[in-house]
């Protein structure tokens, strides 16, 4: 089972690394980190991930994961990336996005007429691609699953793990990453955050 | 404010990338990814992170973050790494670990007589270093903060963000990563998981 992550400069690393940490544990999982060319891909904060494959080195995949970040917003007209996303989607059992990765799925034409989610700051942009924004953390439409901002990729991946295997296997993944969240504040969505916090977060 | 991540082959990437995604957003934050030498550091699943600095290229830091993973368990006698951890701790305002990163803090002699936490599978090993294991998600003792397994690093980093700045700034970090967790199952700790799930997770 090949799990392909499409990565690019300016990605939000946690969008990819959250799902990776869950999905890599599944039986038979192999991971490919795919970009324009093999080699370093730069996230903010001096973090670089190494792409293992160029776009044309991956024939197809079972699971596609498209992360977001400022780099995703900048790539909604990147023909090579969008072509690769369409090509992977043509072969995949599951096509997924985290955060503003859904803008790339949308720009690739995969979300027209579908319910989808994204980071709270990108909901209007998502709708310009013909998707219907739904304020949920994980949205499934057929084989397409979109997740809300950044950390939502972990929740998405655990749901996907159950779809790919079974509940016990997915639950074991959750236990292995000790995902028993205890956030110190209850402000992780726009609906819960104060106006002051929303302003501080750039909303 | 320099935030130094000590990374090594066999780390669990989410242990580092969770806190990184929170702490990098704080005002004045700079990040260093530190290992034996600059260049690729390998996690499972073909994920490589690039170290930006060798141990001897970092004089000190404000925040030290030590991730865990199978590689951490293997490095509890790695003199160069433990020396570096002690040197960073001598300068840091905060010394932190995620998951089995606490074994490295313990092996460096920093947890003797202190309460601490770790991944649920490593609690006995943690106590061999003179720490008292506490089954909590985040444990603070003075300037040392240890987090439980993998995903607990996000909770730790948000608490640390509030200590480093203020509640509104930390809450804005939580909103920016849309950390409003909705795990699909309630099995993320040993206390909550069934015997079947615990067995499937290797416990």
Distance from CA of B131 to the nearest CA of A (A): 20
Average pLDDT over residues B162-186: 98
| Angstrom distances, CA of residue B58 to CA of B16, B47, B50, B78, B157 | 18, 24, 16, 18, 22
Nearest CA in chain B to A11: B21
ipTM over 0.90: yes
Determine the pLDDT at residue A203.
Answer: 80
Q: What's the longest Cα–Cα distance across chain A?
A: 48
Report CB contact under 8 Å: A201, B24: no
- Compare CB distances from A183 to B24, B29, B181 and report the shortest one's residue: B181
- Partners of residue B54 on adjacent β-strands: B35
Averaged pLDDT, B45-55? 97
Subunit contact A175:B197, Cβ cutoff 8 A = yes
Q: Say whether A177 and B149 touch across the interface (CB within 8 A).
A: yes
pLDDT at position B175 is 98
What residues are paired with B30 via a beta bridge? B2
> What tens digit of pLDDT does each residue of A130-147 get?
999 999 999 999 999 999
**Residue ranges of chain A with per-residue pLDDT less than 50:** none
What does the pLDDT read at residue B203?
A: 81
pLDDT at A86: 98
Residue A6 pairs in a beta bridge with A34
List residues bridging with A65 in a β-sheet. Answer: A5, A96
Whether A175 and B193 lie within 8 Å, measured CB to CB:
yes
> In chain A, whose CA is at the least distance from the CA of B198?
A172
| Both structure tokens of A187 | 């402000």
**Set A61, A99, A173, A187: catalytic member:** A99
- Across the interface, which of A12, A18, A46 has its CB nearest the CB of B14? A18
pLDDT score recorded for residue A193? 96
Given B149, B151, B172, which is nearest A154 (Cβ)?
Answer: B151
Minimal-distance CA residue of chain B relative to A163:
B184
pTM: 0.97
> What's the 3-state SS for A139-159?
EEECCEEEECCCCHHHHHHHH
* Active site annotation includes A61: no
State the sign of the Cα–Cα–Cα–Cα dihedral B34, B116, B12, A23: negative
B160/chain A closest Cα distance in angstroms:
10
What distance lies between CA A152 and its chain's CA centroid? 9
Task: Band the pLDDT of B96: cuts 50, 70, 90.
Answer: very high
State the Cα–Cα distance between residues B18 and B32, nearest whole angstrom.
15
- For residue B120, give the DSSP letter: G
Q: What is the mean pLDDT of residues B10-14?
A: 98
Give mean pLDDT, residues B170-192: 97
């Amino acid at each position: 089972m090949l799990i392909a992550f499409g990565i690019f400069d300016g990605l939000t690393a946690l969008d990819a690394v959250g799902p990776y940490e869950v999905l890599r544990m599944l039986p038979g999982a192999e991971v490919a980190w795919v970009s324009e060319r093999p080699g370093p891909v730069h996230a903010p904060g001096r973090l670089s991930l190494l792409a293992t494959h160029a776009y044309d080195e991956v024939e197809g995949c079972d699971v596609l994961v498209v992360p977001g970040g400022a780099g995703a917003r900048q790539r909604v007209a990147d023909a090579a990336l969008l072509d690769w996303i369409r090509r992977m989607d043509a072969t995949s059992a599951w096509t997924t996005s985290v955060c503003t990765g859904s803008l790339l799925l949308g720009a690739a034409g995969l979300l027209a007429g579908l319910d989808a989610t994204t980071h709270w700051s990108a909901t209007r942009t998502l709708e310009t691609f013909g998707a219907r924004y739904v304020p949920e953390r994980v949205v499934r439409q057929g084989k397409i699953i979109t997740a809300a901002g950044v950390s939502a990729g972990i929740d998405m991946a655990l749901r996907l793990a159950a779809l790919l295997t079974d509940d016990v296997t997915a639950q074991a993944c959750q236990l292995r990453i000790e995902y028993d969240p205890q956030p110190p504040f209850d402000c992780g969505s726009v609906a819960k955050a104060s106006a002051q916090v929303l302003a501080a977060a750039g909303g």
